[in-house]
Amino acid sequence: MARLSVNVNKIATLRNARGGNVPNLLKVAADIEKFGAQGITVHPRPDERHIRYQDTRDLTKTVTTEFNVEGNPNQKFIDLVIETKPDQVTLVPDAIDAITSNAGWNTIKNKEFLSEVITEFKKHGIRTSIFVDPVNEMIEGAALTGADRIELYTEAFAEGYTTNKEKAIHPYIEAARLANKLGLGINAGHDLSLDNIKYFNENIPNLLEVSIGHALICESLYFGLDNVINMYLNKLS
């Protein structure tokens, strides 16, 4: 069964919109775990427009499931990850002004840089994952960096799912098969939702983890957070 890690960025966005501490990020994260999620994900960005760096420090002390910190490995981010020592770090090539993640790494062009960063994180016992598009060359490049896992960038799948789901899933199946062959664990995330997660999970061999935030929080407005988390868990079982 693939594990569900809930990205709580949108909870922080809602809190920051009014200032103060409502909703309380730490309590929501604890409730998400209580409702059955197997992990918490955060993605602090340089402008701290949703998750703040201090949130990451605070969550490190309270998260009891798997804690995944993702982001672009600039020096401030690297220092934060080494300080907080999450269970997993996911490297994402975000531009500073990116609204959301919109591309995977070119693991060939950035091999030396990624290898150095990954080596440093693994010295501290942190599992490493690289955000990649479902392109064989990028999967092969990820394996050469020493990463433990890849996270498949699933926006293209989500966009194509409603019109031709077989075509949309095909490159992800091929990427997963190659990753399995190369000994890379497989995570996935971006625009996965209650509508498409079951089909994705059923077709990706050895999928270990999905990270879902935006869709899950939006769906919770209608069905409630507890219900939605368990709906995801049922679809992933």
Q: Which residues are catalytic?
A: 43, 70, 190
Cα–Cα distance, 15 to 12 (Å, whole number): 5
Both tokens of 24, joined, read 């309380």
37: exposed, middle or buried (Cβ count in 10 Å: 0-12, 13-18, 19+): buried
Question: Given the structure tokens 């269970």, which residue do they identify?
Answer: 87
Residues 78 and 117: beta-carbon distance below 8 Å: yes
ω before 23 within 30° of 0 (cis)?
yes
Residue 39 C-alpha from the chain's centroid:
10
Cα–Cα distance, 94 to 102 (Å, whole number): 7
Cα–Cα distance, 200 to 188 (Å, whole number): 10
| Residue type at 161 in one-letter notation | Y
CA proximity to 192, closest of 161, 221, 163 = 161
